[in-house]
Amino acid sequence: MAITRATGPDGVAKPNSTGITVIVIGLGYAGCVAAVECHRKGHTVIVFEQAPEIKALGDVIGITGNAAQVISKWGDGKVQDQLEPFLCDYARQNIHNSKGELLVSHTMLGYSAGSGYAANRGDMAVVFYHHVKELGIEVHLGKRVTEYFETQEEAGVIVDGKRWSADCVLACDGVHSKARGFIIGKSDSPHSTGYAIYRAWINGEEALKDPDLAWLLEGDRDKMETFIGAETHCIVGTGRRCKDIVWTCTHRDVYDITESWSFPGKIEDALKVVEGWDPRIAKVMKKTPEKQLVDYKLLWRDPLPGWVSTHGRMMLVGDSAHPFLPTSGQGAGQAVEDAATVAICLELAGKRRIPLALRTSEKIRYARATLAQKIGIETRDAWHKTDWEAVKKNPKLLEMPRPAWLFGHDPQEYAYEEFATAALAVLTGDDEYVPRNVPPPGQSHRTGDFSGKKMKAWKVAHPEAKL
């Protein structure tokens, strides 16, 4: 199969050199990375985002090493340098029962500074957005897409009555995706998982003055303390190297999905959820400014048979294709992998074979993203429906998996290596195609064997990092 000239995993093409125009919908993590990576591979990018501005608000989000190494290359490491002040430096995750008794403790390698990115989701989003603008990518904020269209020759959107046409459209518009219905050809609303999550953050400078919070701010490494109980788990920790306190609490959802997917949180309601738990949790909750507490409904969409439209010129990317639960620790990471992969597949397939590019990207990514989703469900159930007899025999059952096949993967290197094989499977309709970016049959996907040794790209950008 003839493949167009490639820049390689670390390469950057001349701007607008491929002749391919890509419309990106949404400027969350998936959208930002799709815009930057498509630009880096020589495609012309136009972005539409319905929010009028990108704000630095929120709690902590993690981008594990498999995806962080993609970002580490941006601006020859400049973007990573900008992220450094915001990064959390976790030593370990300590998992307790609801009374505060320690059950198991494990390393946070893959998330911590030097092997991954964990930071305030708003701060990191703003850094990403600024890089998009610095590259000169065309961005339209405060613009809602009202219609989508696709033919065999083009795809596009209608915004404010204007028709925008491109070679392809990447729908990075999240779990509430409006593009999803058009792309999969049927109405598909998100539904509740049965759970919601309180998310909150507290300024560390104020917290330092409070003896009730001192236990969180001791030392120079960030903390992540997880407490598990029936149908509930809480995570209390710090961010930016003990400069902030963050906490989340996943709990049963009592609101109907038609009401809203996000509510201003109430401290009194959060306290009821942890009544009788380790008193340190309630003390943290009581110190939280109520304006910095939100109750998010954890929504789910059933797995799709595919992510690409009928004519192969539109594709779902990130949460619009495969929403993740917070217990996966992979929602943002898998969105980054999606975006980096499709940018490469477009480069390799070329302007005349856009449908092949998108379908090959899906072929490369589908099984991996689906398995990563499964991890989140399994971990949530391990924490919410705990088999305590089994845990007594093996406390490691409560650990968040940190498998080498997931954390140590280089999605860009793999995309270049796998493109020809995956593309041939698309062209021949080979349903027996087996990707190499998942564990082989019979091997457990829930392991803790990530060592950091495969972090080539990170080490190049940060040779002094100690993994």
How is residue 42 written in tokens? 């020589």
**Residue 231 φ/ψ region, left for φ over 0, alpha for ψ in the -120 to 50 degree band, beta for the rest:** left
Phi, psi dihedrals of residue 310, rounded to the nearest 5°: -55, -50
Q: How far apart are CA 385 and CA 393, in angstroms?
A: 16
d(CA 121, CA 111): 14
The structure tokens listed for 30 are 């998936």
Is residue 144 part of the annotated active site? The answer reads no
For the chain, report the end-to-end CA distance as a whole number of angstroms.
Answer: 40
The answer to whether residues 142 and 332 touch, using CB atoms and an 8 Å cutoff, is: no
Looking at 40, 121, 180, 199, which residue is catalytic?
199
Cβ neighbors of 22 (< 8 A, separation 6 or more) are 34, 38, 43, 44, 45, 46, 166, 167, 168, 169, 170, 346
Give the distance between the most distant pair of CA atoms in the chain: 66
| Catalytic annotation, residues | 199
